């Protein structure tokens, strides 16, 4: 597959993943709004923080390193060895589920059994759901490596719909089940994922399409672990790279879910406050998850396939490096523009958004302050996602090892900052600690990118320089939106709220017009990689 084809596939994957994340976030958004009417804040805190943290930790630590290592090369590899390596995620996940489940049951403070019953069985069932999802890991990597972008969208969409539907039905028909409702929904979600991938590959292997594209596997049995005649069972180079990424993923998980670890292990917030914080957190990070995360995942694959890991710029194919530099610059500009828009408008519309979503439960207290802080944090998330996806794709094994040390320092500093800032500012302190650590990660990645392209004719970091017209439009929109909030929002009735929304819509149109006028290179990139593809399909 040529580098141009890889770029097109990555762009298509990103667009499909954005669509998937939009569907996921909209469903989650509606489900949370629905759930708030039926369960207590305490139960939401246990499910959305305590149990979800157990599930995500087991899954992330068991598979993240394998994903990054096995997607680093091209498709022309010994896939039998890779399949064998990927199946190690299951026993590793079993060890993590047992170890972490024991901690969750016997070392952490259990919730009150009257307000939140069935806690112990719920821990076991969420651990089981994590192991069930790991069954699909070899199939997921195969699909990603061969750019089966629609498969992921269909599988995860069906799984999400099944989970949301079951949750809604059980909340309406049997609310007394409590935590069992969310356990059943999580098991249905992971089971649907596994079923979709299994059905697809059972149908695909041996088909005419598989033969046409020279797919490396031919029978369903080759998807299972097997011995190889005269060859090692696993690729030793990939195994060592996996170990390097594993050490890094452990630290990255602490940084990604750090505030939940602090809440869970240090008890700085009650379960009710944790529930409110998690709802605001999900609302604040919605755009980051359904726009920035798919871009990061898809273009990590692009950079990993186009660039030679650990090689200097002058030792690689110059056309590939030029393409990677251009894509990196345009991606940086894209996420920066989106992040700045969210920061500017998020500050003035946080109170209104929370009042509409959850009423006084969310709009009173620290809710609006939390969401305003998240508006700035989203900007940092946007830049960090793109810079790190390039950095991790280009780093050598030795550089990954050195970065692990930096991640360890960041993890320790983050935990310390989270504790003290939370003691000082409450739940807002979690967001402030995240902002500081994210800024440090961005600085590290920017320094690496500058060194990587030093002495070459490319300067992709120019993507972080907004045009003066765009900055002026954003600044003016921020001032007008703040004045509108003070004048019309949010306790003067729905008519005044609609006026506030109309003012924001007009300002947003002005900002988008400034982007079209001043960021012409970004507009051409988006048209070439996304819009032109759909135009061709229509014609």
| pLDDT single digits (tens) 51-66 | 999 999 999 999 998 9
Q: How many angstroms separate the CA atoms of 65 and 62, rounded?
A: 8
Mean per-residue pLDDT, 317-325? 85
Is 17 a member of any domain?
no
Q: How many angstroms separate the CA atoms of 116 and 421, rounded?
A: 29
pTM of the full structure: 0.69
Which pLDDT belongs to residue 537?
Answer: 45
Clarify whether residues 202 and 290 are in a common domain. Answer: no
DSSP H helices, 36-78, are 41-45, 52-70
Report the SS3 class of residue 4: helix
8 A C-beta contact, residue 473 and residue 511? yes
Residue 62's domain comprises: 39-215+234-248
Clarify whether residues 355 and 285 are in a common domain. Answer: yes
Clarify whether residues 139 and 49 are in a common domain. Answer: yes
Clarify whether residues 333 and 204 are in a common domain. Answer: no
Mean pLDDT of the chain: 84
Q: How many angstroms separate the CA atoms of 130 and 363, rounded?
A: 34
Domain count, the chain: 2
Which pLDDT belongs to residue 535?
Answer: 44
Q: Which of 134-138, 175-179, 205-209, 402-406 has the lowest mean pLDDT?
A: 402-406
Clarify whether residues 160 and 89 are in a common domain. Answer: yes
Domain boundary (431, 458, 485) is at 458
Q: How many angstroms separate the CA atoms of 426 and 420, rounded?
A: 9
Contacts 24+ apart (CB under 8 A), 472-480: 472/514, 473/510, 473/511, 473/513, 473/514, 474/340, 474/341, 474/344, 474/511, 476/507, 476/510, 477/344, 477/345, 477/507, 477/508, 477/510, 477/511, 478/344, 478/345, 478/347, 478/348, 480/507
The yes-or-no verdict on residue 486 having pLDDT over 90 is: no
| pLDDT single digits (tens) 1-23 | 555 666 666 666 556 666 666 66
Clarify whether residues 271 and 240 are in a common domain. Answer: no
Is 31 a member of any domain?
no
Is 526 a member of any domain?
no
Percent of residues, the chain, with pLDDT higher than 70: 89
Domain boundary (458, 473, 504) is at 458
Is 496 a member of any domain?
no
The yes-or-no verdict on residue 461 having pLDDT over 60 is: yes
Which of the 8 DSSP states describes residue 268?
Answer: -
The yes-or-no verdict on residue 433 having pLDDT over 90 is: no
Report CA torsion sign: 33, 37, 39, 40.
positive
| pLDDT single digits (tens) 198-254 | 999 999 888 888 888 788 888 888 888 887 777 788 888 888 888 888 877 777 787
8 A C-beta contact, residue 56 and residue 193? no
Q: Which of 291, 341, 287 has the alpha carbon at shortest distance from 512?
A: 341
Cβ contacts of 169 within 8 Å, gap of 6 or more: none
Which pLDDT belongs to residue 534?
Answer: 42
Q: Which of 54, 97, 88, 90 has the alpha carbon at shortest distance from 69?
A: 88
Which pLDDT belongs to residue 533?
Answer: 46
Is 28 a member of any domain?
no
CA atoms within 13 A of residue 520's CA, in its CB half-sphere = 2
8 A C-beta contact, residue 355 and residue 280? no
Clarify whether residues 315 and 442 are in a common domain. Answer: yes
Clarify whether residues 269 and 408 are in a common domain. Answer: yes
CA atoms within 13 A of residue 205's CA, in its CB half-sphere = 16
Q: How many angstroms separate the CA atoms of 133 and 163, rounded?
A: 14
Clarify whether residues 206 and 98 are in a common domain. Answer: yes
Prior bond to 490 cis, omega within 30? yes
**Mind giving me the DSSP string for 76-104?**
-S-HHHHHHHHTTHHHHHHHHHHHHHHII
Model confidence at 102, pLDDT cuts 50, 70, 90, reads: very high
Which pLDDT belongs to residue 138?
Answer: 92
Mean per-residue pLDDT, 19-32? 67
Q: Which of 135-149, 278-292, 316-330, 382-396 has the lowest mean pLDDT?
A: 278-292
Contacts 24+ apart (CB under 8 A), 452-457: 452/313, 452/394, 453/313, 453/325, 455/313, 455/314, 456/313, 456/314, 456/321, 456/325
What is the length of the chain?
Answer: 539
Q: Which of 206, 259, 245 has the alpha carbon at shortest distance from 411?
A: 259
Clarify whether residues 238 and 293 are in a common domain. Answer: no
Clarify whether residues 244 and 125 are in a common domain. Answer: yes
Which pLDDT belongs to residue 420?
Answer: 85
Q: How many angstroms separate the CA atoms of 500 and 364, rounded?
A: 19
**Token pair belonging to 134:** 């790991």
Which pLDDT belongs to residue 86?
Answer: 92
Is 143 a member of any domain?
yes
| pLDDT single digits (tens) 351-370 | 888 877 776 667 776 778 88
Is 14 a member of any domain?
no
Which of the 8 DSSP states describes residue 527?
Answer: I
Which of the pair, 407 or 134, is modelled with greater confidence?
Answer: 134
Which of the 8 DSSP states describes residue 233?
Answer: S
Model confidence at 536, pLDDT cuts 50, 70, 90, reads: very low
Clarify whether residues 203 and 344 are in a common domain. Answer: no
For residue 246, the Cα-to-chain-centroid distance in whole angstroms is 18
* Of the ranges 178-187, 314-323, 496-505, the best mean pLDDT one: 178-187
Q: Which of 91-100, 408-417, 436-445 has the lowest mean pLDDT?
A: 408-417
Is 516 a member of any domain?
no
| pLDDT single digits (tens) 245-273 | 887 777 778 777 877 888 888 877 778 77
Mean per-residue pLDDT, 307-312? 80
């Amino acid at each position: 597959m040529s580098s141009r084809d890889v770029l097109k596939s990555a762009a298509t994957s990103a667009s499909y993943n954005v669509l998937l994340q939009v569907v996921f976030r909209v469903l989650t958004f509606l489900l949370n709004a629905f759930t708030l009417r039926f369960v207590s804040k305490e139960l939401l805190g246990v499910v959305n923080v305590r149990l979800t943290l157990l599930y995500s930790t087991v899954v992330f630590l068991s598979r993240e390193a394998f994903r990054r290592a096995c997607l680093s090369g091209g498709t022309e590899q010994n896939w039998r060895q890779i399949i064998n390596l990927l199946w190690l995620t299951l026993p590793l996940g079993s060890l993590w589920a047992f170890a972490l489940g024991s901690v969750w049951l016997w070392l952490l403070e259990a919730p009150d059994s009257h307000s939140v019953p069935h806690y112990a069985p719920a821990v076991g069932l969420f651990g089981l759901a994590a192991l069930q999802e790991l069954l699909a890991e070899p199939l997921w990597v195969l699909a990603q490596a061969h750019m089966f972008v629609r498969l992921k969208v269909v599988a995860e969409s069906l799984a999400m719909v099944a989970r949301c539907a079951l949750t809604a039905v059980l909340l309406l028909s049997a609310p007394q089940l409590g935590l069992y409702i969310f356990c059943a929904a999580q098991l249905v979600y992971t089971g649907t994922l596994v079923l979709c991938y299994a059905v697809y590959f059972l149908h695909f292997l041996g088909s005419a399409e598989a033969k046409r594209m020279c797919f490396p596997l031919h029978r369903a049995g080759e998807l299972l672990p097997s011995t190889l005649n005269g060859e090692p069972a696993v690729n030793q180079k990939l195994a060592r790279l996996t170990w390097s990424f594993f050490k890094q993923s452990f630290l990255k998980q602490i940084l990604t879910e750090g505030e939940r670890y602090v809440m869970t292990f240090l008890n700085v917030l009650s379960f009710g406050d944790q529930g409110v914080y998690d709802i605001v957190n999900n609302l604040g990070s919605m755009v980051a998850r359904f726009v920035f995360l798919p871009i990061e995942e898809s273009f990590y694959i692009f950079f990993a396939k186009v660039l030679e890991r650990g090689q200097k710029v002058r030792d690689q194919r110059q056309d590939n490096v030029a393409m990677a530099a251009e894509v990196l610059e345009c991606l940086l500009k894209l996420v920066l523009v989106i992040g700045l828009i969210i920061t500017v408008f998020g500050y003035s519309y946080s109170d209104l958004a929370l009042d509409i979503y959850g009423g006084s439960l969310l709009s009173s207290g620290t809710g609006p302050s939390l969401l305003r802080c998240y508006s700035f944090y989203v900007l940092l998330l946007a830049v960090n996602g793109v810079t790190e996806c390039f950095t991790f794709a280009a780093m050598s094994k030795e550089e990954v090892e050195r970065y692990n040390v930096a991640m360890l320092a960041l993890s320790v500093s983050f935990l310390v900052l989270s504790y003290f800032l939370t003691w000082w500012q409450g739940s807002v302190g979690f967001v402030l600690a995240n902002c500081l650590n994210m800024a440090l990660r961005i600085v590290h990645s920017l320094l690496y990118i500058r060194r990587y392209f030093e002495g070459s004719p490319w300067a992709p970091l120019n993507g972080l320089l907004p045009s003066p017209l765009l900055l002026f439009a954003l600044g003016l929109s921020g001032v007008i939106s703040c004045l509108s909030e003070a004048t019309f929002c949010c306790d003067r009735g729905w008519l005044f709220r609609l006026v506030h929304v109309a003012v924001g819509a007009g300002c947003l149109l002005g900002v988008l017009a400034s982007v079209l006028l001043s960021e012409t290179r970004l507009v051409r990139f988006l048209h070439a990689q996304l819009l032109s593809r759909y135009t061709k399909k229509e014609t």
